[in-house]
Amino acid sequence: MVQDTSSTGKKPSIKKTTVSSSISGILIISIIALVISNEFITQWLTRTYDENLIAKVNLLQTIMEYDSGSLEFDFADEFMPEYSRPKDPEYFQIWINNGVIFEKSHSMGDLEFEFRKLPLDQHHIFNSKLPDGRAGRVVYISFYPQIDINDDEESEKKLAPEQEIISRPESLPIATIAIAKERLSLDDVIAIANSILFGSSLILVFILTGIVWWSVKKGLKPLDELQDQIEVLDFKQDNAYLALDREPQELHTLINRFNRMLDSVREGFKREQQFSSDVAHELKTPISEIRTISEVALLNNTDDNNYTHSLKEIKDVSVQMGDLVNQLLALARSEVQKDGLKRTQLDVEQLIQNTVHAHKSDMLERDVEVTLTNNCDPYIYTLSLEFSQIVNNLISNAIRYCPQGSSVSIIWKNTGEKFSLVVSNIAQNLQGEDLKYMFKRLWKKDLARSDVRHSGIGLSLVKAYCEALDYTVNTQLKDEQFSISISGFSHG
C-alpha cells in the first residue's frame, strides 16, 4: 500500500504545484513583456515628440536667407502664435556665428538659452529647463543660411554642389537655432500609455491565471484520481488495478504499465510466499529425522554399532539439507542477469559423458541404461557452469524418476547455428496436466514425496538457467515417454 511519509501526513497536491508554477511563469513573462512594452512606448512617443520639434526647427531654417550681405529672417507671429501666446508658449532663439544673438521669440522675454557650438546640419536634442521654469525639450541645429538668388542670376543657381560651396561669400555667417517646448504633455501621455498598458497587463494576467487554473484543474483531475487510488491500493488483492472512467490517451500507457507492474509484484509476492512454505515443508522432515536419530543415539549410546549407524544417518540427512540449501542458493543466483558474462566454447558431448559417469552408482543401483545419440559438432559457445548444471539436472532427474530396469535416451543435435538437447525417460506416474508443474519450485509428484533425497528444485534450476542463457525449454509426454528439450543458438 502506498503511504505518504511527509511530516504533515497530507498528500502533495499536483494541481496546486502545477498552478503555482504556471502562475509564476505567467507573472515572469508578463513582467518582462511589460518592461519591454513600456520601453518601446516611451521611446516611440519621445521620438514622435522630437520629430515635431525637428519639423519646427526645419521650418524656421527655411525662412532664413542671406541676401546682399545681410541675413534676413521672414518670421510673422500671426502665422506662428505658439511663440508669443501667454499660456503654454513655445520658444526659439537664433545665434549668428559664435553666440551672437540674432533673434528670439517674444515668449523668451529677457531670458536666453545657453549657446551650444555644434556640428553643422545635425539636430541635437536635450532635456532642459524652460524660461518659465517648466521641464522641456530643446532641439539645436547649426547651418549656413540660404543665399537669395535674383531672377537674372537664375542660371547661376544650377551650379554643381561643390561649385556652389566655393562660390559662397566669405562673409556668409553660421546660424544656430534652438527651439524649446514643454515636455509635461509628453510625460503625461507616456504616463497614461503606461497606465493603460499596466492595467491591461494586469487584467490579462488575471484572465490567464483563471484560464490556467481551470485548464490545470481539468487536465490534472485524472492524475489526482490516480493518486487517490494509489494511496488506498493493496497490491496483495488480485483485483487491485488502476482504472479511470474516462482514461486520457496520455495516461493509457502509464496505467497499463503500472497494472502490469502490479501483476509482477503480486506474482513475485505469491511466489515468495509459496517458496517459503515449500522450503519450510522440505526442511521439516530432515530436521525431524536429525532430532529423532540424535535422541535414539543418546538412548542407545552403549551399542557402538547402533551409535555409529545413527551418526551415519545424521550425516546423510545433513548432506541432504546442505544439498537443498545449495540448490536454493543456485536458484536465487540464476535469476541474476548474466548478459555481462563472457561465453566460452564447451564440448557438450564430453560434458554429457562425464555427467553420465558421475551418476554411475545411481544407474547401477536402479539398473538404468543411458544412451547418447550424437553425430554432429559437439561444440557450442555458452556459460560453462550454467550449461553444465542444466545437463547434470536433466540426466539426474531422468535416472532417478524412470522405472527400475528402464533406459534414458539423450539426443544431441547441432547445425552450427542452432542446437537441441533432448533427454527422455519413461514416466509411468505422470499425467498430461502435470507438465505445467514440472518447472515449479519444490514441486514433486505425490508418489515421489517419500523420497527425501530429492528436493524438487532440479528442473526449476534448468528453467531458470535456460531463461538466463536465452534458451528455449519444452516438455512432452507421449505414451508414458517423458522428454525435456533444450534449444538455442550455438554461438550464444
Instruction: Write the CATH number of the domain with boundaries 336-489.
Output: 3.30.565.10
Q: Where in the chain is the domain with CATH 3.30.565.10?
A: 336-489
pLDDT (0 to 100) of residue 424: 93
Q: Where in the chain is the domain with CATH 1.10.287.130?
A: 249-334
Tens digit of pLDDT for each residue in 141-177?
A: 999 888 876 544 443 444 444 444 445 556 688 899 9
> Does the CA dihedral 365-368-369-373 come out positive or negative?
negative
For the cut 50, the answer to whether the pLDDT of residue 9 exceeds it is no
Element (H, E) at 484: strand 481-489
Give the residue, 327 or 413, on which the prediction is more confident. 413
* Residue entry with cell 512432452: 476
pLDDT (0 to 100) of residue 371: 93
**C-alpha–C-alpha distance, residues 383 and 369, integer Å:** 28
Indicate the pTM of the whole model: 0.42
Q: In what order do the strands lie in the sheet with 481-489?
A: 369-374, 407-414, 418-426, 481-489, 472-478
For the cut 70, the answer to whether the pLDDT of residue 234 exceeds it is yes
Lookup: cell for 400: 532417478
DSSP secondary structure of 172-216: PPPEEEEEEEE-HHHHHHHHHHHHHHHHHHHHHHHHHHHHHHHHH
* Domain 249-334 coded CATH 1.10.287.130: yes
> Stretch 255-265: mean pLDDT, rounded?
81
For the cut 70, the answer to whether the pLDDT of residue 81 exceeds it is yes
Residue 143: is it exposed, middle or buried by C-beta count within 10 angstroms (0-12/13-18/19+)? middle
Average pLDDT of the chain is 78
